[in-house]
Structures are given as structure tokens and as C-alpha cells.
Amino acid sequence: MLEEIKKTLNEFNAEIKKVNSSAELENVRIKYLGRRGVLSQLFDDFKKITSNDKPIIGKTLNQAKIEITGKFNQLQEMILSNSNSTDSYIDLSLPGRKSFVGSKHIITQTLDEVRAIFKGLGFSIYEGPELESDYNNFGALNFPDDHPARDMQDTFFVSEKFLLRTHTSPVQIRVMQEKKPPLRAIMPGKVYRNESLSAKSYCLFHQVEGLLVDTDVTFAELKGTLVSFAQQLYGKDVKYRFRASFFPFTEPSAEVDIWWQQQGKEGRWLEILGCGMVDPNVLMNVGIDPEKYVGYAFGMGVERMALLKYGIDDIRLLFDNDLRFLKQFISV
Amino acid sequence: MKISLNWLNDYIDLSGTTIAEISDKLTSAGLEIEEIIDQRKIFNNIVVGYVKEKQMHPNADKLTLCKVSDGQNVFNVICGAPNVDTGQKIPFAKIGATIPENNFKIAKVKIRGEVSEGMICSERELGISDNHDGIMVLSERAEVGKNLSDELGLNDVILDINVTPNRSDALSHIGVARDLSAIFNKQLKIPEIKFTESDNNINKLASVEILNYIDCPRYFAKVVTDVRINESPEWLKKKLLNVGLRPINNIVDITNFVLYETGQPLHAFDLDLLANKKIIVRNEKEKVKFTTLDDKEREITSTDLMICDGKCSVAVAGVMGGKNSEVTINTKNILIESAYFNPSAIRKTSKRLGLSTDASYRFERGVDPSIAPYAANRAAQLMRELTGGTIAKDSIDIYPKKIIPRKVSLRFNRITRILGFEIPKESIQQILKNLQFNIFKNVNSQIEVEVPTFRPDIEREIDLIEEVARIYGYDKIPPVNKISITLEERVYQNTFDDKLRDIMVSLGFFEIVSNSLQKEETANKFGTAINVLNPKSYEMASVRTSLIPGMLITIKKNLNVQEKNLRFFEIGQIFNRIKDGKLIDFSDFIEESKLLIGITGKAVESEWYEKDRQFDFYDLKESVEQTLEFFFTNIKCIEKFYKDGNDLFEYYFEKEFNGKKIGIGGKIKKEILDYFDITQDVYVFDFNLDILKQIELPIKKYQELLKYPKVIRDFAIIIDKKTDNSDVMKFILKNSLNVLKNIKLFDIFESESLGKDVKSLAFQLEFWNSEKTLTEEEVDKYFWDMIEKTKNKFNAKLRGE
């Protein structure tokens, strides 16, 4: 009987190779799988067997049935799908099948642009915690206690000693405490200001700060670096100005404005970043000799740049995460 | 701070310089001009008009119909003010004018059927005062047709300057003029004081005692007797109005004038109201109630420095005077206080009382301790001139520990080293001289400088370098176009988060950035909240303890605008308290980095080729799987399933690696969704990035491509419905030889025809041997053997058997 089963399988395999139409396939079905088909016949025969090899024969027969059924089903599917495509009308104007597309938030996209520029200038990227000590956020950065300079940044305090960082400058302190100069780093991250929510201000925003400490750094080099940055971001003809300002952690300090002109509107100076030479007190606070090393630092707000770039007039839109808004900024 | 250009001209000759030039140069030197208010432009097209006729409006009870002449033409003007009348001269805004109060543009309009060709203005509408009782009526002598700014003498230019906290010296007209004198290299003119004093010595009229020298290093007083309280003359009132101050009476106005001229806050006491004619500068021993000039009762504590008379407090030192010693219409004799207070003491009191005044603003930034006599004398001189008072002989000056000017040296080559640019030595010295620094020693390579006491911000060489650079002009320092880079052993550029973002975007997720501040109740629902001590609103009282609330709030907002099918992710920090009580150390709380993914709504929307389908748990699982796959090819995590859920999830699962929890996620419980008012299922998974970051990634190695054919076998078993697929798979893998390389579940099927409480699981198995070709016979041997074992183990049947 084993011989017979093998023969049946061989015949089946040979026959299905020739099948081309569903009519031919139906014939094969009737012949092998029909109620009076070959397989059914074999099972009938099997029942009559009484010899010792009945289990082996049974197992072989089962395998044969599975194989024949499987191959038959496969072939049937193929023939069905073929006939579909040849018989039906192809409408090439149908929309294509959709795939999912996501996007990075425009804050991230803007941040990426800024980072790409500084990557090109050899800056490393460092990050630090958002819940910071008062010392790292203010003290180490040369903000005296009880000084009005602290009012420049409305602060969320969570205790006398801890606060939500108001700038990413504490990361400068952390980097300088960990590493010896030369240092060349940018520090992106979330920062907090205790302000009421409005179209113009939000209680948090993202900042990128930069720090460079080396033996031969100058204000002219700071200017050169930032001018290059502004040109890469706003075009090579960008009109800019450096004006004196005050930050406790830099001296001399400056703010950089660019001339912003929109079509049909009056041009105006727009502040894009603050910068300066690292104050010697800050260097001394982290154990760097200010006679030997000089540093510069700069910082800018990412949201402001994004609002400017995309012509968004309400900062809260950035934090509403309305899908209709997010979908406008799908990009790679 | 508002600075009047006309007033500035008293101290520096600015002829020949344009407003734009002054504004640009001051801004460049660090005194940023935020706004230029040109009064002549404000009153463009607003002239003196003459009311020729007045009738009632035919269709409105409260309106009148006026005929107004501008000297050339007569216009119909509708007016609503009760006090308008024929024969008045009034401020008339013609067509084209802009009303200063609200930027309303005047055009020809019809009001209830009558034409109006302009507007008669009130003082408030003109931005002159708060008075809006009726229209402003001008002097009878006013010239009809004349521009209103000329008529009122409002032809000044006001500069609104943003003075940074280090520049206390610039909080006055003389201070700003001093910077201008350095910028334009022009002479600064300080008004000379000359007056005659009576024979009556001040020491017979008053006395001063300081009990707290630390907070009050200097107290200077001057007495003026027999003053007549009155309105100030027009020139004085106008000066004050232009810088935004309200004229009160001649005495108070003079102290304000001197404040805005010199930067020294003064206080005028009614000498006769001071008990024992005595001033004592001291602290109260205990809490007392004290009523300040603004009629508010305030609680004073022992840390607040007070000015007292022989009996009680009469002023909060450096902040505000008291009601009990206020100058009134009956005041005859004045004691002028011109003191120097410790900046930090004044700041503390001002902060504690929530009271910031022109005086406290300056004292907390540091006024000039040396200017006290000049300012008091200046006020005395003006009181004599404007109030007819008599200046008592001599002055009281308690100043036991004189503050002496600092000495700082400046190396020329250090300037060049810092700036990268050489400023000529002559320019450096000229700038410092113009800023009134005294160069007392000059050797070849460096100078020794005495810093004037009005510059408490200048302590070190670097401070002088900034002074020189800002006046010289940052724009004159050329930017270099070549920078040298010290080569480092490693440049850290791509962060872990960057990679994660790329993965999530490639999986079709949208990045969100949500507010890290939330309600305390919400924060405590998801963790142990850290509260903000000074929140702006209760909506933002705590720092987030989880990214989940932000995700759910975002989903809710989107549902509100009919965006219902959402796949979001957020990367951010969360904060949880570890210890109760005040946070005093980094170990009292924990800040963690998280990635949260969230899905809700339809995974697939109806298309011509496909039916729609809701997101479910298995979509979430796949996204989690894929995310991990990108990072950790070949690293196997342990999965744990929790069908019964917890406080947050209806059911959930966890991923673990080396015993550390990588993440947790599942279907959000209905109670939680109700809290956020969400009515559709939401699935989230919360990755712990701090753990993920610690996993050392294996270095990817090339694996040889398979040279021999795979053998593929399918089979389906009918099994108890409550059997977990993973158990079956695990069993199959365990009971096969190593040529079984892959197993995949490709169908689950339930039907009456299969039987009750059973299901069919269909698997596809891949066998191969990387060393040699595997024959069908070899595979079959393993295959059928494994099927038998599986059947026995799970009491299952082979489908089709």
C-alpha cells in the first residue's frame, strides 16, 4: 500500500504542473479529493488493513493528504488571482495604497538645523537635567544672591535650593566641571520661565547654548562664528548688528539682531541671540585659570526661530500639538 | 525707563545728531532703545479746532452735531461729550489722524444718518492723562489750526530705554547723557548749584541718627523752611509728564525731578510732623503695621530698614514714605532725605512687600553714595526758587565709613587678547575719561584707573574692557573669517534621542511637545509630584510625573477638532519626589528620560482596497517591537503580560532586559480616560530611556548569507481556545532540532465547525542547515515527530486529520 500512496503522490505532482485553468483544476479536485476520489479510495482501503505496519501506513497516508490538500489550495489561489487580473479593467487613476508618514515636531526640526551648523564647526553636543540646583543655574554663573539680575529670568522654584532651569547654562557648568579645556560644545534643551501663557510667551521653551574655551579665543572669533551661523541660517546677505548687553556669566556681553523685513511690512531689528566672553568668575568657579584660558558662550531660543521661519504668530500653537498643525511640517 | 530728549539737552549738546543716530548709538552701547515716541508724530492731523455751532443730533439724544473750523474749512463733527459748546477751542482730530489711546484711524463716517468728518478728543483719547469726563477744552488764546503738539508744547521725543540690571548709573538723564558724552566725545554739563542759606542752622532744627550702619551707610539731610505748597510750574510738570510721572505738588515734583535728573531718590518729610524733629534709621523690634503713601497698610518685620522719628516709623527706607509724615497743603518746613542704602536690604524689603517703586528700583541696583549731597542741594535750590522757601544753614551728613572709589588696573594687551582687535591707546583713555573714570597712573603697558562710585558694577579689569569695547562700538571689531579648532579625541554629536526620533517618524508617528507643568492632582495621579513654589496658575502647579497626562491631554484636544486617528510620540523628562519635605539634594528626587508612544482611533481608514480597522493592542505591540528592533537587533527582551491590568491599564505588558524594566504599556483604563474626558480606546507604551541608554549595543557583524535552500512546512492545530500562542511556540522551539530556525503564526481561526471552545492556530516553520542542503526526508522526520509531541502536550488535533 505504501507503494500505492507514493505513486498517487507522484501522479498528482505531475498532473498539477499541467493545470492552467480553473476547469482543469476542478478535474484534479474531483479525481484526488472528491468524495469518490483517489484519496478517499485509499482511506477506504486503509481501514481494511490488519497488518502490523498499519500505523506507518496511516501516517504516510495522512502526510500525503496534507501535501495534496496544501498544494491544491496553493494552486487554486494562484489561478483565481490570475484570472482576476486578466479579466478585470485596470484603472490606473485609482489612488495608490497609503503608507504611514510621521514627522518631527518643528521645534526639533529647527533645533536640528541649528545643530547641523554647529556640527559643521566641530562642536560636540551635551545635555543636562532640567530640575537644577540654584547654584548651577545662578550661583556658579556669577548671579549674586539678592541681585536684580535674577529678575531677568522669572524662575519656577520647587524649593529654596532647586528650580526648573531658566537656561541651559548650567550644562556649561557641568561640562566644565567634568572636562578640561579645550572645550567646544553646544547644549540644547528645555528651559522654563515663570510667565503667563500668551501668544508671545510660554512657560517653557527650548534653548541652544554654545561654549568654547581654549587658549586663544577672542571676541572677534565669537563674532566670526556667529556671523557665519546667521549667514547659514538666514542667507549670506543677512544684515546683522552686535550691541552691548548684560548677562552675569559673560563679559563683554552682546546681543545680536538681524534685520527682518517681510514683504509689505516695515523692516525691524530682531534679536536672535545673546552672547559674550565667559566671565572670569565663571571660569574660576569651575577651576579654570582665566589668565590661561579664554572662552566664549552664546545662547538662542529655538521657538522664536521657528515662529519666525514659518510665520507663526502664536507660540501656544507649538505646544497644542494639533494634528492639522503637525501635518503641515512633514519633512525629511 | 523713559528719557526725554529735550531734557537730555540740559546736560549735553546734541545738536547735529539725528534721533536715529542717538538711538542707534545708545542701543549699540548697551542702553537698548525699545521705543521712540515722537510726540509730533502722535498728533499728526490733530489741530486746534473752533466750535462754531452746536445742535442736537436729530436721531440721537446724547449726541450733538457740531460745526468745527480748522481755520480754513468748516467740518461737520458728531460729538458725544456733554461739555462741548459753541465758542470752545478744542483738540480736533481730522480725517487721517490716529487717536493715540487706541490707534483708531479717523475717517469720514455716517452716525445715525448724519455725516461726521473728524473727532473732538478727550485728554485720555490723546494719551495726555486719564481724564475722560468730557472733551479737553483748550485755552482761549489757542491759535485755531495750529498743530496740537505745538499748542501744548508736546514736541519732545521720548526714548524708552531698557536698562540692564548692572547699569544703575544710567537710570537718570545725567547718566544717559554721560554715555552719550563718551559715545560722541562731547562735554557733559552738570548743573551748578548756588544758593544762599539762612542763619538758621540745620542742627537746631533737626537731628539724624543711624542705628543700622550696615543697611544705611550714609544719610544726608537738608532743611528748607517756610515753603509754600503749590502746583509746579508748567516746565516742571511737562518734564515729569513726558517721562511718565504724575505731577503732585511742587515739593514732591522737585524730588522726582532730581531723581530723574541724577538718579538719587530723595524723600521730603514734613519736618513738623516728625516727633522730636528727629530722624532715626533703624529696624523695628517686632512686627508693626505701617501705612505707606499709597494708603495701603503693610506689615513691617524686624528685617525691614525703617526711617523713624522720635516715636515711630515714618518711611520704609528706600521704598516708600509713610502717610504719617506726608507733605500736605499745610506743610511749611521740609526735611530732604538723600541717603545711600544697602542694595540687598532694599531688595529684600521691596520683594517681601511686593512693592517696587522708582526709589527701590534704583537703591536695589546701587545708587552713587557720593552724590547724596549734590542731589539734596539741588532739591533745596529748586525748593527755594519754586516754593519761596529758605534753606537752613549747613547740612547733616552721617557717613561714618566712607565708600572709597575702587582702583583697577588695565593692561592694554589684555584688551587685545580678549577682543582679538587692537583699540588705539588714546581711544581707550579718552573713553574712560569721558565716562568719568580717573586714570591716575599710566605706564607703557597698562593704566591704573579709579572707578567712580556711581559704577558699582566695575570691579575688575574685564569690566573696564567691556566699557571700552561697548563705547568704541562692537561693530568696529571685525569678525574673523577663519577659526582654528583644537582637535579632540571624540566629537559627541548624535544623541540617543535623535536616533529614537528618526525611528518613530519612520514608523509613522508624529512628535508632540507638551507642557511639563500640570495640575497637582494630575501629577499625583501618575506619580509623586514636585510642586512649584510660585505657580502662575493652578493648572501649572506641579512638574509632570509622567508623559501620559500630556499625551492624553493632546489626544483630547485633537478629538475636539475631529482629529480622531492619532499616532503620537513624545520624548521628555519626568520628575518624581523620592523624599517628603523640602528638596535639598539631588537624591531627594529623580528626573528620568522617557519616550511615550500613544495610538488611538483607526489604524487604517476605509480605502478602495481595504476596510477600516481600529487600533488595538497588537498595533501597540508591533510599534514597540519595531522600535526595539531598530536599536537592539538580536537582543532579546523578556516580555511579561498582565491580563488583569493595574490602576492605569486595563491590561498591559512589560519589556525587560537583564532584569531591568525597559518599558510598560497597554490599554488605558476607562477611569483614566474618563478623567481626561476621552471616549475612545487609547493604547500607550512608556519607554524608560535611561535604562535603554545603558544597554551596551553589540557591534553589528556581517552574517554569511545562506547558501543552501530552506525547507518550509505549514501545519495547523486545533487547540483549546484559552491556550496562549507564545506557550505553543515556545514548546515547538524547545522540542525541535536546531535546523528549525524560524516559526511564524500565520492564522488564527475559530468556528463552530471546528468544535466548541477551540481555535485553530496555523504555523509556518522554516528549516535550514547553514552547512549543507537539508533534504525533505530529514525535515519530515523532525516535523512529524514535533507535531505528535505538540498534539500530546496541548491535547490538540492536527487540522485536516
pLDDT of residue B536: 84
> Which chain B residues touch A159 with a CB distance below 8 Å?
533, 582-584
Nearest to B517 among A97, A100, A203 (CB): A203
CB count in 10 Å sphere of residue B175: 23
Segment B278-292 mean pLDDT: 94
- A91 within 8 A of A36, measured Cβ to Cβ: no
Distance from CA of A81 to the nearest CA of B (A): 15
Instruction: Report percent pLDDT > 70 for chain B.
Output: 99
How far apart (Å, rounded) are the C-alpha atoms in residues A295 and A218?
Answer: 8
Q: Give the confidence band of B740 by pLDDT, cuts at 50, 70, 90.
A: confident
- A181 within 8 A of A214, measured Cβ to Cβ: yes
- Does B591 contact A157 at a Cβ distance shorter than 8 Å? no
Q: Outline where chain A has alpha helix (H).
A: 2-18, 22-28, 38-48, 54-87, 106-120, 134-137, 169-178, 219-234, 280-285, 302-310, 317-320, 323-326
Class of the CATH domain delimited by B44-152:
mainly beta
pLDDT of residue B345: 94
Domain span(s) for CATH 3.30.70.380 in chain B: 711-798
A241 and B CB contact within 8 Å: yes
- Among B132, B114, B102, B16, residue whose Cα is nearest residue B63: B114
- Does A223 contact B505 at a Cβ distance shorter than 8 Å? no
pLDDT of residue A159: 92
How far apart (Å, rounded) are the C-alpha atoms in residues B347 and B756?
Answer: 82
> Which chain B residues touch A216 with a CB distance below 8 Å?
484
Write out pLDDT tens, residues B556-575: 999 999 999 999 999 999 99
Distance from CA of B670 to the nearest CA of A (A): 23
Distance from CA of A22 to the nearest CA of B (A): 23
Write out pLDDT tens, residues B36-64: 988 888 888 999 999 999 988 888 888 99
Q: Which three cell numbers stand for residue B230?
A: 503749590
Please return the burial class of B355, using the count of CB atoms within 10 Å of its CB with bins 0-12, 13-18 and 19+.
Answer: middle
Q: Which residue of B has its CA nearest to A226?
A: B479
Nearest to A245 among B30, B484, B561 (CB): B30
Q: Compute the residue count for chain A.
A: 332
Nearest to A244 among B29, B480, B558 (CB): B29
pLDDT of residue B634: 62
The three-state (H, E, C) secondary structure of B571-635, written as one string: EEEEEEECCCCCCCCHHHEEEEEEEEEEEECEEECCECCECCEECCHHHHHHHHHHHHHHHCCCC
- Among B77, B145, B58, residue whose Cα is nearest residue B117: B77
Distance from CA of A96 to the nearest CA of B (A): 9
Write out pLDDT tens, residues B268-283: 999 999 999 999 999 9
A49 and B CB contact within 8 Å: no
Phi, psi of B622 (to 5 degrees): -65, -40
- Among B165, B117, B124, B134, residue whose Cα is nearest residue B62: B134
Nearest to B508 among A102, A129, A244 (CB): A102
Please return the burial class of B434, using the count of CB atoms within 10 Å of its CB with bins 0-12, 13-18 and 19+.
Answer: buried
Q: Which residue of B has its CA nearest to A112?
A: B498
Superfamily of domain B496-694: Bira Bifunctional Protein; Domain 2 (3.30.930.10)
Q: Which residue of B has its CA nearest to A43?
A: B801
- Does A227 contact B485 at a Cβ distance shorter than 8 Å? no
> Which chain A residues touch B359 with a CB distance below 8 Å?
none
> Which chain A residues touch B344 with a CB distance below 8 Å?
145-147
Rg (CA), chain A: 37
- Among A285, A126, A292, A102, residue whose Cα is nearest residue A213: A292
- Does B474 contact A279 at a Cβ distance shorter than 8 Å? no
Residue where the block lists cell 497644542: A320
Q: Compute the residue count for chain B.
A: 801
How far apart (Å, rounded) are the C-alpha atoms in residues B663 and B623?
Answer: 13
> Which chain B residues touch A65 with a CB distance below 8 Å?
800
Q: Which residue of B has its CA nearest to A248?
A: B166
Distance from CA of A51 to the nearest CA of B (A): 22
Torsion of CA B223, B300, B260, B380, to 10 degrees: 0
Nearest to B532 among A102, A108, A158 (CB): A158
Q: Which residue of A has its CA nearest to B495?
A: A125
> Which chain B residues touch A133 with a CB distance below 8 Å?
586
A120 and B CB contact within 8 Å: no
Residue B337 pLDDT exceeds 70: yes
Distance from CA of B481 to the nearest CA of A (A): 6
Residue B335, SS3 per DSSP: strand
pLDDT of residue B647: 93
> Which chain A residues touch B495 with a CB distance below 8 Å?
125, 127
Residue where the block lists cell 445742535: B55
- Does B493 contact A125 at a Cβ distance shorter than 8 Å? yes
CB count in 10 Å sphere of residue B59: 10
pLDDT of residue B75: 93
Contacting A residues, span 243-282, partner chain B, CB-CB under 8 Å? 243-246, 251-255, 277, 279-280
> Which chain B residues touch A327 with a CB distance below 8 Å?
510
- B591 within 8 A of B532, measured Cβ to Cβ: no
Domain span(s) for CATH 3.30.930.10 in chain B: 496-694
- Among B599, B578, B573, residue whose Cα is nearest residue B515: B573
> Which chain A residues touch B486 with a CB distance below 8 Å?
182, 184, 214
Write out pLDDT tens, residues B197-218: 999 999 999 999 999 999 999 9
> Which chain B residues touch A160 with a CB distance below 8 Å?
582, 584
- B244 within 8 A of B358, measured Cβ to Cβ: no
- Does A327 contact B510 at a Cβ distance shorter than 8 Å? yes
Nearest to B583 among A130, A161, A190 (CB): A161
A203 and B CB contact within 8 Å: yes
Residue B717, SS3 per DSSP: strand
Q: Which residues contact A27 (CB under 8 A, 6 or more apart)?
A: none
- B763 within 8 A of B716, measured Cβ to Cβ: yes
Q: Which three cell numbers stand for residue B407?
A: 582702583
- B518 within 8 A of B606, measured Cβ to Cβ: no
Mutation for A interface: B492, B510, B776, most A CBs within 10 A: B510
Domain span(s) for CATH 3.30.56.10 in chain B: 2-40+157-183, 407-476
Fold type of domain B407-476: Phenylalanyl-tRNA Synthetase; Chain B, domain 1 (3.30.56)
Q: Which three cell numbers stand for residue A5?
A: 500512496
Query: Left, alpha or beta for B30 (phi > 0: left; psi -120 to 50: alpha)?
Result: left
- B66 within 8 A of B84, measured Cβ to Cβ: yes
- Among B587, B555, B687, B559, residue whose Cα is nearest residue B630: B687
- Does B586 contact A133 at a Cβ distance shorter than 8 Å? yes
Superfamily of domain A106-329: Bira Bifunctional Protein; Domain 2 (3.30.930.10)
Contacting A residues, span 8-27, partner chain B, CB-CB under 8 Å? none
- Does A190 contact B505 at a Cβ distance shorter than 8 Å? no
pLDDT of residue B753: 83
Rg (CA), chain B: 41
pLDDT of residue B41: 85
Distance from CA of A184 to the nearest CA of B (A): 9
Residue B538 pLDDT exceeds 60: yes
Q: What is the C-alpha end-to-end distance of chain B, expressed in Å?
A: 94
What burial letters (b/e) apply to B127-157, b meaning 16+ CB within 10 Å?
A: bbeeeeeebbbbeeebebbbbbbebbebebb
Domain B711-798, CATH: 3.30.70.380
How many contacts, defined by CB atoms under 8 Å, are there between A and B? 265
- Among B579, B522, B584, B580, residue whose Cα is nearest residue B550: B522
Q: What is the pLDDT along chain A (332 residues), one digit of tens a residue?
A: 888 888 888 888 888 888 877 788 888 888 888 888 888 888 888 888 888 888 788 888 888 888 888 888 888 888 777 665 556 688 889 888 888 889 999 999 999 999 999 988 889 999 999 999 999 999 999 998 888 888 877 899 999 999 999 999 999 999 999 988 989 999 999 999 998 899 989 999 999 999 999 998 999 999 999 999 999 999 889 999 999 999 999 999 999 999 988 888 888 999 999 999 999 999 999 999 999 999 999 999 999 999 988 889 999 999 999 999 999 998 75
> Which chain B residues touch A294 with a CB distance below 8 Å?
417-418
Q: Give the confidence band of B679 by pLDDT, cuts at 50, 70, 90.
A: very high
How far apart (Å, rounded) are the C-alpha atoms in residues B167 and B455?
Answer: 8
How far apart (Å, rounded) are the C-alpha atoms in residues B224 and A292?
Answer: 58
> Which chain B residues touch A218 with a CB distance below 8 Å?
417-421, 480
Phi, psi of B512 (to 5 degrees): -120, 155
- Does A124 contact B493 at a Cβ distance shorter than 8 Å? yes
The three-state (H, E, C) secondary structure of B103-171, written as one string: CEECCCEEECCEEECEEECCHHHHCCCCCCCCCCCCCCCCCCCCEHHHHHCCCCEEEEEECCCCCHHHC
Distance from CA of A314 to the nearest CA of B (A): 15
A146 and B CB contact within 8 Å: yes
Domain span(s) for CATH 2.40.50.140 in chain B: 44-152
Q: Are strands B64-69 and B74-79 parallel, antiparallel or unpaired?
A: antiparallel
User: ipTM value of the model?
Assistant: 0.85
- Does B465 contact A252 at a Cβ distance shorter than 8 Å? yes
Element (H, E) at B461: helix B461-472
- In angstroms, how far is CA B86 from the centroid of its own chain? 52
Domain boundaries, chain A: 2-87, 106-329
Q: Which three cell numbers stand for residue A153?
A: 529670568
Partners of B660 in the β-ladder:
B657
Q: Which residue of A has its CA nearest to B479?
A: A224
Q: Are strands B157-162 and B32-38 parallel, antiparallel or unpaired?
A: antiparallel
Domain B2-40+157-183 sits in CATH 1.10.10.10 = no
CATH number among 3.40.190.10, 3.50.40.10, 3.30.70.260, 3.40.50.2300, domain B197-233+263-398: 3.50.40.10
pLDDT of residue A24: 83
